A and B are shown apart, each in its own frame.
Chain A
């Protein structure tokens, strides 16, 4: 059985699909192929977008034929070196204080756990960055322990503040900017995940690992004022690798 399907998304994009599931093995294949294609710099390929389960390749069909690109991709997927994928590891501070976690008690109720058990579970996992998508710098982190996996809220909020930490299904994320949101909010991080004073704006990249470190409300506020006043200096201090 082939490990992927190459799908057509219009006349200027191909989707290399490794399966409709959230799976570390699938992600490793996606990210490995992304790296190979980035190294190869095939003429006519404009942009490569890895997602949780697939890799989209945007190309100029008048410079690179669809068939040639399909064949090349299938050839590359024959020997993907998935073991080589190792991103950076980050420790991201998160405050789970009820003042910043409007859905923490709901999540606790639904999971039959205490709030401190929820925090312990959520911050006890080293998460994999499956992809960045939807918003600039928004990293989809998994896998959230099954006990905490809830469907999205029935009533999405029209606007939540940047830094909010959300859970939906087996994914969690830190929102890089104010946005409408249907995820359950269980905390907030003082670290900006999108900041254009960085070279590409983002902190995290697909393939990175993330662990959350619980902060008190007071530490959060201190971290926030430092992050706001001196973003560049603060980053190395609060983003130390684990």
Chain B
């Protein structure tokens, strides 16, 4: 049998996602991809995968899977949840593990991820990735389109998700140190493209008030409720494209922030657009969570984008062997003024 992860329980909504489908929006195909690409990249980096390798995106409640392969190395990054490895399918208890580290799991063992205590999504990356053919250059699941990922849908009990590797590589385990997944105090946004459909008062209200994430939110859009935003020129426009992070305002005046699975085009005016650097953090916000917006200029947004990309570049350097405690060693070595040579010696290339 092909090596696989067999799904015992799918979790609330578990889909395969990568960094998205680029270049097909002109055909009506949503971009899709991870809601939180930072956590996806970090999970992939831990298991030694290229950053855009498809991984499981898990929402709110984790799956339970059994390993149908000699062994698999995996890493969980994102929302906080209990991660357990059980000896077999009948076992009731097992060993608990932290996130942000690699875990080697053997044939017949069960990985169980519980409900989240904070955050909306986490990512489970497996060394080598899943043996899934890309559709239109991506393995991201696009549920509304019915394609990509595992059969174009969320995982279900009984699925066997094929693995590229039958066994984990023979190396020690690693952990990721110092990756900050803290949200910005306010989500930064640039006015437009249709801010002229709103009064100055409504624009001010968007940035002065807190909004709550409604339960109807999904991978397409984060529906918010809060201070009503009034249109001054009607709420229908001739359809134009919807950029990631667009804050569109339909007739009821309650904003919707469009996310990864957003429709490519739409006919509501968009008052502002959340900046690209804040979208991964926005993807982590739970239903019921409260968010506020802050207006920034495009120059500030691009500066923050550069900073974020620099942080992403550094993820690889934050991966260290599991059994070394970087902080303690660094403190020790500082005393002896040996720091520069020591860092190279124990960080993974």
Give the B-binding residues of A (Cβ under 8 A): 7-13, 15, 17, 20-22, 34, 46-54, 56, 58, 61-62, 66, 131-138, 140, 176-177, 179, 194, 196, 200-202, 206
Contacts beyond the supplied A50-B26, A51-B240: 6 A-B pairs with Cβ under 8 Å? A11-B190, A13-B243, A54-B240, A134-B264, A134-B265, A135-B144
Asked whether, in the complex, the Cβ of B238 is within 8 Å of the Cβ of A22, the reply is yes
Q: What residues of B have a CB within 8 angstroms of the CB of A137 in the complex? A: 27-28
Q: What residues of B have a CB within 8 angstroms of the CB of A11 in the complex? A: 190, 273, 275-277, 298, 301-302, 305
Contact of A53 among B29, B146, B240, B245 (CB under 8 A): B240
Q: What residues of B have a CB within 8 angstroms of the CB of A48 in the complex? A: 26
Which chain B residue has the least Cβ–Cβ distance from A65? B302
Asked whether, in the complex, the Cβ of B240 is within 8 Å of the Cβ of A10, the reply is no
Asked whether, in the complex, the Cβ of A133 is within 8 Å of the Cβ of B145, the reply is no
Q: Is B241 an interface residue (CB 8 A)?
A: yes
Q: What residues of A have a CB within 8 angstroms of the CB of B309 in the complex? A: 62
Which chain B residue has the least Cβ–Cβ distance from A193? B28
Asked whether, in the complex, the Cβ of A10 is within 8 Å of the Cβ of B264, the reply is no
Q: Which of A11, A15, A206 has the most CB of B within 10 A?
A: A11
Q: What residues of B have a CB within 8 angstroms of the CB of A176 in the complex? A: 28
**CA–CA, A56 and B241, complex, Å:** 6
Q: Is B280 an interface residue (CB 8 A)?
A: no
Measured CB to CB, the closest approach of chain A to B320, in angstroms, equals: 28
Q: Is B25 an interface residue (CB 8 A)?
A: yes
30 contacts between A and B (CB under 8 A): A7-B194, A8-B193, A8-B298, A9-B241, A10-B245, A10-B273, A11-B190, A11-B277, A13-B241, A15-B193, A20-B238, A21-B238, A46-B22, A49-B25, A52-B238, A54-B241, A58-B243, A61-B302, A61-B305, A66-B298, A132-B28, A133-B28, A135-B263, A136-B28, A136-B147, A137-B28, A177-B145, A200-B27, A202-B27, A202-B28
Which chain A residue has the least Cβ–Cβ distance from B275? A11
Q: Is B149 an interface residue (CB 8 A)?
A: no
Q: A11-B301, A61-B302 are in contact. Are A201 and B192 (CB under 8 A)?
A: no
Asked whether, in the complex, the Cβ of B243 is within 8 Å of the Cβ of A9, the reply is yes
Q: A48-B26, A49-B25 are in contact. Are A7 and B192 (CB under 8 A)?
A: yes
Give the A-binding residues of B (Cβ under 8 A): 22-30, 135-136, 142, 144-147, 190-194, 237-241, 243-246, 263-266, 270, 273-277, 298, 301-302, 305-306, 309
Asked whether, in the complex, the Cβ of B26 is within 8 Å of the Cβ of A206, the reply is yes
Asked whether, in the complex, the Cβ of A49 is within 8 Å of the Cβ of B275, the reply is no
Asked whether, in the complex, the Cβ of B144 is within 8 Å of the Cβ of A10, the reply is no
**CA–CA, A58 and B31, complex, Å:** 12
Contact of A196 among B135, B244, B306 (CB under 8 A): B135
Measured CB to CB, the closest approach of chain B to A156, in angstroms, equals: 13
**CA–CA, A201 and B23, complex, Å:** 13
Which chain A residue has the least Cβ–Cβ distance from B270? A9
Asked whether, in the complex, the Cβ of B193 is within 8 Å of the Cβ of A132, the reply is no
Q: What residues of A have a CB within 8 angstroms of the CB of B243 in the complex? A: 9-10, 12-13, 15, 56, 58
